[in-house]
Amino acid sequence: MKHKHITLVLISMAFILTSCLFDDGSWKDEYGTPELFLENVKGVPNLYLYENENQYPDINFEILNLIKEAGPFEIISKRNPTKDRYFTYEAYWQPATSGPNYCTMSIWEDGFIRIDHKNSLGPHGYVYFSMDETKASYINDVVFQKLSTI
């Protein structure tokens, strides 16, 4: 009887671990578009804009609102941005003993957008969008100006 109990426990653990190691894409229902991402941003303490090591808390949601107004956003296949300057906006970041859980959206000044989702034990999940280059450049200007004042 003990042998059956141990076997059931091991099988259960294997199923639990394998479910953590695969991206089933369910995160896209909550964060899979720029609109969904921005609607599901979690609390002010978890909102940061950063480039290199600089961080800026988006306390009054100024940057979030600029991004919302910058649509429409168009889904695209993966590509490389044509410009180097970008910032990353965190929807949430949660520490865990097995690694962090997070979802971020990076916006390059050429209009390329990448949403990156990671569960601590699972793989990265990505979706790609584009937006108007003029609007993306303007938002980057605002963000970098704020970062320079820190």
Kindly report the average pLDDT of the chain as a whole number: 81
Phi-psi category of residue 43: left, alpha or beta, with phi > 0 → left and psi -120 to 50 → alpha: left
pLDDT for res 107: 94
Residue 25 pLDDT grade (very low, low, confident, very high; cuts 50, 70, 90):
confident
| pLDDT (mean) for 120-138 | 93
Q: What is the CATH number of domain 24-148?
A: 3.30.1490
| Reported pTM | 0.78
pLDDT for res 124: 87
Residue 125 pLDDT grade (very low, low, confident, very high; cuts 50, 70, 90):
very high
pLDDT for res 37: 94
pLDDT digits 0-9 by tens, 33-62: 999 999 998 775 444 666 566 778 887 889
Q: For residue 93, which of 49, 63, 128, 61 has the smallest C-alpha distance? A: 49
pLDDT digits 0-9 by tens, 59-93: 788 999 999 999 999 999 987 888 888 999 988 87
| pLDDT (mean) for 12-29 | 60
| H or E stretch at 48 | strand 48-51
User: 64: which 2 tokens?
Assistant: 């979030």
Task: Quote the CA–CA distance of 2 and 16 in Å, as a whole number.
Answer: 21
